[in-house]
Amino acid sequence: MSSKENNHSAEEMFREAFERLKSNRPIILPKGTPLSQNNVAKEAGRDPSALKKSRYPLLVLEIQEFIELKDSQEQKGKEQRDNRKRKIQEKLKDCQKQRDKLCSIVDAQQQMIEELQSRILELQDSKNIIKLNSESN
């Protein structure tokens, strides 16, 4: 077998290992193993030093791009979770402000009711009020 054929089959093995790790279906490494250039080589059953950029420049570039894309997606997801958490905290603060404002209104209304009831009692005690009898003839 020529060196070129051997090199091609090695690249195929690395590519297959890369695909298995991308889909979290490794054969050699445990599931959940993070995708890296070294882990692709290990999953292919090769020494990590065998997968070099000088030998397989396109494959190594694909691996690096996939890792960067995955990292950026994870970062974006983390930012979205943080934004949701922040939005929930902001909503909670808004609700607390509304609650405090409504409590103030309730207190003011209660005070007004007490003042009006007191005034009613004063007026009832004064002799200036004529009580109407509902049974008039």
The two tokens of residue 26 are 């490794």
Query: Is the whole-model pTM more than 0.75?
Result: no
Q: What is the pLDDT of residue 4?
A: 47
Rounded CA-CA distance 131/52 in Å is 105
Per-residue pLDDT, 131 = 64
Residue 128 confidence (pLDDT): 63
Q: How many CB atoms are located within 10 Å of the residue 41 CB?
A: 23
pLDDT, residue 106, reads 93
pLDDT along the chain (137 residues), means of 10: 56 93 93 92 92 91 93 86 82 90 93 91 74 61
Structural tokens at position 20: 């298995």
Of 54, 56, 73, the closest CA to residue 18 belongs to: 56
